[in-house]
Amino acid sequence: MKIHKSLWIAIGFVLVLSTVLAGCGGGGSNAGGQGKTLIYGRGADSPKLDPALVTDGESFRVTENVMETLVDYEKDSMDVRPALATKWETSDGGKTWTFHLRKDVKFHDGTDFNAEAVVFNFERWMNQEHKSGKKDDFTYYASMFGGFKGDEGHLIESVKAVDDYTVEFKLKEPQGPFLQNLAMSPFAIASPKAVKEDPGKFAQHPVGTGPFKFKSWKKGDSITIVKNEDYWQKGLPKLDQVIFKSIPDNSARLTALQSGDIDVMDGLNPDDAKTVEQNDKLQLFKRPPNNVGYLAFNMEEKPFDDKKVRQAINHAVNKEGLIKSFYADLAEPAKNPMPPSMWGYNDEIEPYEYNLEKAKKLLKEAGYEDGFEVEFYAMPEPRPYMPDGKKIAEYIQADLKKIGIKAKIVSPEWQSYLEATEEGKHDMALLGWTGDNGDPDNFLYVLLDKDNARIPAQNIAFYKSDKLHDILIKAQRETDKAKRTELYKEAQEIIREDAPWVPLVHATPPLAAQSYVKNYVPHPKGSDSLAEVDIQK
């Protein structure tokens, strides 16, 4: 997902790509002698393939098909359904959860999936002695379950095997989104044998129970997964092989699709959606807009410790113009940190109007009448919520110049970008989020609670509000949806006033595929199961 290159570079890239992919035979049966092969063009490589160690969609895109969770989401919604657990019940006011596991399931290394495997995984995530490196390796676990074992807010008291196929979770307090959380990709169950042998290797070579098995990884180029012949769900997968091909430039990726070198692509430029619709050899998909793209201020750095400065910039960014320039109407302006389709959304919030005079007045009140200079991190890769981070940054840079703010844009490579923002090295940064579990907690708590302002931070604004924290924790502990809704509406009012971000857009990401690709369903969470996908020419 590199920044758009010049036309000549793009053309040269596509020519090289066509030569490389010719041997793969993008699109269909007997490609490379591997039966039905699907080549999935994407914007960037995966940083790691241990889902417990990452927070990015490019990693989950692969691991989603190699590893499985206790419960999963329906193929086109965030409703929970059975997966490695066939049924479950809760008791003790929501503090005890019992899961009954699927029998006769094996990991790709031939070992048995059972209750002890589930216990091993959760203990690995929650216990410091099992960690492969720094304390916060398992960022998602800490974000969703209140830290690690021994931390004051840690939610899970114990996980134990009642028998070979029954697991019991004891929680210190009820958690409203507990079942939704367990369906998230980071909590996929890994082979204990593979992890114990070499945790570092596991992050490069995942071993799960999923419909596909990991085969190979050419860093910066492609990841190949192949059919799990012993998959517990009979008749699946329908494909024999999937190759995730990294093609950084969106336009080059579309050219590869049009020429038949790849079968599916994400990161379609919104302006190209009509071109795809008019091509009878292609089909257009629209992923549900379960996301937010935002501009975060590092509130630990001056001048962003001043609320008036943050509010001024909220008034200075022309979101309507930005959407018209870069999203081809496949987005709507954001006023809250979560999408309007999410329950608990507060539609009564007044958005910051685009008003340069108000912005200048607030800057003057804050003591920055002459503006200031700032370093502005712009994403180097296209993301579902932001098709071209650098160009969008340049657009915002021009807006800021009108109120005297000189923003220097920096754009390191993707992995370095994520690490820099997690560690608070930025002044301002563009980023975004695709919801993982269909619950407001996954946006508001994960992205803006003080618990997640610890390095490596998911709250990259380093926003620490005790008032907001108390409301979000209360909402987590509540199991009544109506009461939770009111709490989340109150939380959005606090966030609007404190302005740790400029919420920019909620995008409807377009994707494209060859017409012969069947049963592909883009999921709201941003990573898709390919188990039912088929190629029919």
- The domains found in the chain, sorted by start residue, are 7-63+210-287+509-535 (3.40.190.10), 71-198 (3.90.76.10), 291-507 (3.10.105.10)
> Which whole-number Å values give the CA distances from 189 to 49, 88, 204, 225, in the listed order?
13, 17, 16, 18
Residues 6+ apart with CB under 8 A from 288: 341, 508, 522, 524
pLDDT at position 219: 95
- 3-state secondary structure at position 39: strand
Handedness of CA 69, 74, 80, 81 (dihedral sign): negative
Residue 1 confidence (pLDDT) = 33
Give me 247's structure tokens: 């093609």
pLDDT at 416: 93
Q: Three-state SS across 347-378?
A: CCCCCCCCCHHHHHHHHHHCCCCCCEEEEEEC
Burial (0-12, 13-18, 19+ Cβ within 10 Å), 347: exposed
pLDDT of residue 350: 97
| Side chain identity at residue 182, one-letter code | L
Tokens of 167: 């697991």
Q: What is the pTM of this model?
A: 0.82
> What confidence score (pLDDT) does residue 92 get?
95
Spacing of C-alpha 319 from chain mean position: 23
Amino acid identity of 111? T
Tell me the pLDDT of the chain (537 aa) as tens digits.
Answer: 333 333 333 434 444 344 334 344 455 544 444 689 999 999 889 999 999 999 888 999 999 999 999 999 999 999 999 999 999 999 999 999 999 999 999 999 999 999 999 999 999 999 864 444 454 478 889 888 988 898 888 999 999 999 999 999 999 999 999 999 999 999 999 999 999 999 889 999 999 999 999 999 999 999 999 999 999 999 999 999 999 999 988 999 999 999 999 999 999 999 999 999 999 999 999 999 999 999 999 999 999 999 999 999 999 999 999 999 999 989 999 999 999 999 999 999 999 999 999 999 999 999 999 999 999 999 998 888 998 999 999 999 999 999 999 999 999 998 899 999 999 999 999 999 999 899 999 999 999 999 999 888 999 999 999 999 999 999 999 989 999 999 999 999 999 999 999 999 999 999 999 999 999 999 999 999 999 999 998
